[in-house]
Structure 1
Amino acid sequence: MLSARSMFQEILDNDESFRLFCSIAASGESQGGWENARIAALVPESQRRLAPKIVRHGADEDKHGRIFNALLRKRGLDPVDVPGEADYTMLLEKQGIGLAHDKLRADAPLTEYDIVSYLAHSRVTEQRASEQMRLLCKHFAEHPDLGRAVRMISNDEDNHLAYCHEELLRLAAAGHSRRIQRILRQSAMAEIRVYRDVSLAFMTHMGRILGWSGPKVAVLMTGIHLVYLFERLFGWRRMVTLSMPERRDALGGPATPATEFA
């Protein structure tokens, strides 16, 4: 029977598919760590109170990258280059999601509008990250190799999502409400297209590595297109709503260390 658990189990059991999975995850997390570190360094004076939380966000992302690389080392595997068509963060940047890297490499302070954009983009992408990690936790929280890693990362992603909600509500109350809603809607629509494209590319590579049959690949591809259609029509709304989270000040302290992994 084809299920999310059985598909992930196949990926985890094969060295080459596991290698690609962890390489993609590590690359995206490390990229997020760099981006947050640069944003924290360039925060405008009006939003300096956010800098420690952005630093914490970046430290968490760096930690996640190290965890995925440590999982590779534990199996004696080296990372592989991420295929361009499966590079979620790169494709998001091309769609205008996240602050441009040219801007982050410069030394000029960001604007308050940049910070609003950063938080709105993050609210959308952290929704996806939180959901994906919860799915992995559902099936592999007790896995001997992955269990502790997915539980830790899932908790961090929930913290990141809570932080985005709380800070965006603060900025909305300060007069940025219309701008935030506009950016959220645009970002959600762009993200669901990128997620579909990356999912199709990911499954194509996994099918090739694992020798999946044509009908199996066709079923998986159809499922991805159906998810995209649902998100395009209805599911995007979960990415644009804002509500005060139960976890208040979720990034108010230092990052949780992960010395047991890396």
Structure 2
Amino acid sequence: MLTAKGLFQEIIDDDEAFRLFCSIAASGEAQGGWENGRIAALVPPGMREMTPKITRHGADEDKHGRIFNALMRKRGLEPVPVPPDTDYTMLLEQRGIGLAHDKLRRDEPLSERDIIVYLAHSRVTEQRAAAQMDMLASHFGDHPDLGKAVRMIADDEVNHLAYCHEELLRLASAGHGPLIHRTLREAALAEIRVHRDVSLAVMRHMGRILKWPKAKSAALAAGIHVMYAYERVAGRRTMVGLRMPERRNALGGPPTPASAV
């Protein structure tokens, strides 16, 4: 029987598969760190109170990238280039989700609308990240090599998601509700498609590395398509709703250093 735990155990047990998995994860986290760092530098004057939290968000993402690289180094592995079809952040940008990198590279203040777009995009992608890391923590939280790392990252992702909920609710109460909900819907629909495509690509690469039989690869691909269909119909509701989180001011303090892993 195919299970998420069994599949990840196969990846963890194989150096080449583990190296690809960590390289993809490290690259995505580093990209998120850069994006948040640039957004923090370009926050419009009227929203500067958000700068420390955006900076903290970026610092957490950078830390996660370092953690995945450290997990590789522990096994004497070096990162590999990320296949373009598995580059989640790049594919989202190509579909117009989030803030364009060209805009972030310019030294021009962002608008209030830009910050709302950033938060809505983050609310959707952090929902995905939190769910994935919660799954890994539930299965591998006690793993001797991975446990502390996945627990720390999972806790950070909960903080990131709480931060997005709280800030978007604050902005909605200030009159930006229609823009927020429209942007959330657009981002969720695009993210669901990108997640399907990236999942299929990652499974193809892992199947090649781990020499999966065709029947196994076909079953995994079918499962990914079923999940996509479900998310299109019902699952995306979890990505567009807003509720006040239990963790308030979740990014109000300093980040936990990666050296604690």
- Give the TM-score, by structure 2 length: 0.99
- 1:172 is aligned to 172
Q: Note the alpha carbon deviations across 1:31-60, whole angstroms, 9 max, x for none.
A: 000000000000001110000000000000
- In structure 2, what is the Cα distance between the partners aligned to 1:53 and 1:12? 33
- In structure 2, what is the Cα distance between the partners aligned to 1:145 and 1:25? 17
- In structure 1, what is the Cα distance between the partners aligned to 2:214 and 2:40? 47
Partner SS for 2:259: coil
- 2:161 is aligned to 161
Shift of 1:201: 0.2
Shift of 1:96: 1.2
Query: Which runs of structure 2 are paired with 1:1-262 in the superposition (5 Å)?
Result: 1-261=1-261
- In structure 2, what is the Cα distance between the partners aligned to 1:57 and 1:41? 13
CA-atom RMSD in angstroms: 0.6
Partner SS for 1:161: helix
- In structure 2, what is the Cα distance between the partners aligned to 1:97 and 1:163? 19
- In structure 2, what is the Cα distance between the partners aligned to 1:259 and 1:222? 40
Contiguous gaps of at least 5 residues in structure 2: none
- In structure 2, what is the Cα distance between the partners aligned to 1:179 and 1:108? 22
Shift of 1:97: 1.5
Shift of 1:231: 0.3
- Of 138-147 and 251-260, deviating more is 251-260
Shift of 1:221: 0.2
Report how many residues are paired.
261
- In structure 1, what is the Cα distance between the partners aligned to 2:93 and 2:24? 16
Shift of 1:130: 0.2
Shift of 1:260: 4.1
Q: Note the alpha carbon deviations across 1:129-172, whole angstroms, 9 max, x for none.
A: 00000000110000011100000000000000000000000000
- In structure 2, what is the Cα distance between the partners aligned to 1:8 and 1:106? 40
How many percent of aligned residue pairs carry the same amino acid?
70
Contiguous gaps of at least 5 residues in structure 1: none
Shift of 1:258: 1.6
Partner SS for 1:234: helix
- In structure 1, what is the Cα distance between the partners aligned to 2:183 and 2:95? 12
- Give the TM-score, by structure 1 length: 0.99
